[in-house]
Amino acid sequence: MQQELFSETNNTQEVIKNLLPKDGIVEVHHSFFSLTESDAFFEKLLNTIEWHQDSMKFYGKEVNLPRLTAWYGEKMKKYSYSGINMKVHEWTPELLFIKNRIEQHSGLQFTSVLLNLYRSGNDSVSWHRDNENVLRVNPVIASVSFGGTRMFKFRHVDDHKLLRSVELTNGTFVLMKGETQHRWEHTIPKTLKEVTPRISLTFRILF
């Protein structure tokens, strides 16, 4: 496999060193992937990832999640959340390329990635923290966005009035670390705005 799928580099990143005022670190790198890369990755992932409609029990009823999901990574690195057991698929060349790019920046090695496809403004993810036991203490989560722009919101677990938000545009890379997953919740809310589909990739380190 070739080391590089793209030779283009991007020197026009807008960087937010820390979106949070305390108790965690959220780096935001807009245009971390170039527009050419981002558009190509969106189309490739949209058409080749094995998307799945998961469901969960809500007041005793099975309810479909308002998005499609997929789980890729190393063999035997199983993952579950909210009672949903994810089926693991092997890395694709595109996912390995994206993983390698963010690992070069972060200095970390990620073992797995959860992909989400937000098909419209009706698709969302509710307030939550990525703090499952398998991720250990102070997990690092790396998130990449391709496609349409969506709002990403944070609120402090001890003070829901303490909020921060940022627009995730095409090619944005977000690195969440420190106490973030213990002290802050995050969400992609529904929106009435006309938005195009978005794919998110959240890379994790499973032990």
What is the distance of C-alpha 129 from the center of its chain? Answer: 12
- Distance between CA 132 and CA 2 in Å, rounded? 34
Nearest one of 147, 132, 87 to 114, comparing CA atoms: 87
Backbone angles phi, psi at 92, to 5 degrees: -100, 165
Q: Is the pLDDT of residue 7 over 60?
A: no
Residue spans of alpha helices (H) in 49-142: 93-106
Q: Cβ(164)–Cβ(20) under 8 Å?
A: yes
Q: What is the pLDDT of residues 124-140, one digit of tens each?
A: 999 999 876 667 788 99
pLDDT band at 6, cuts 50/70/90? very low
Would you say the C-alpha torsion 99, 154, 136, 85 has a positive or negative sign?
negative
Q: What is the pLDDT of residues 13-70, one digit of tens each?
A: 899 999 999 999 999 999 999 999 999 999 999 999 999 998 877 677 888 999 999 9
Nearest one of 116, 128, 127, 114 to 68, comparing CA atoms: 116
- Distance between CA 156 and CA 87 in Å, rounded? 31
The two three-digit tokens of residue 142, written as one number: 């790396």
Q: At 25, which amino acid appears?
A: I
b/e for 73-83, b at 16 or more Cβ within 10 A? beeebebeeee
Which pLDDT score, from 0 to 100, does residue 8 have? 45
- Distance between CA 120 and CA 126 in Å, rounded? 15
Q: Work out the angle between the directed axes of helices 35-48 and 93-106 (0-180°, nearest 10).
A: 130
Which pLDDT score, from 0 to 100, does residue 158 have? 97
- In the chain, the domains with their CATH numbers are 14-204 (2.60.120.590)
Instruction: Return the half-sphere exposure (C-beta side, CA atoms, 13 A cut-off) of residue 43.
Output: 5
Determine the average pLDDT of the residues in 60-85: 80
- Distance between CA 98 and CA 94 in Å, rounded? 6
Which pLDDT score, from 0 to 100, does residue 76 have? 61
pLDDT band at 194, cuts 50/70/90? very high
Q: What is the pLDDT of residues 147-179, one digit of tens each?
A: 999 999 999 999 999 999 999 999 999 999 999
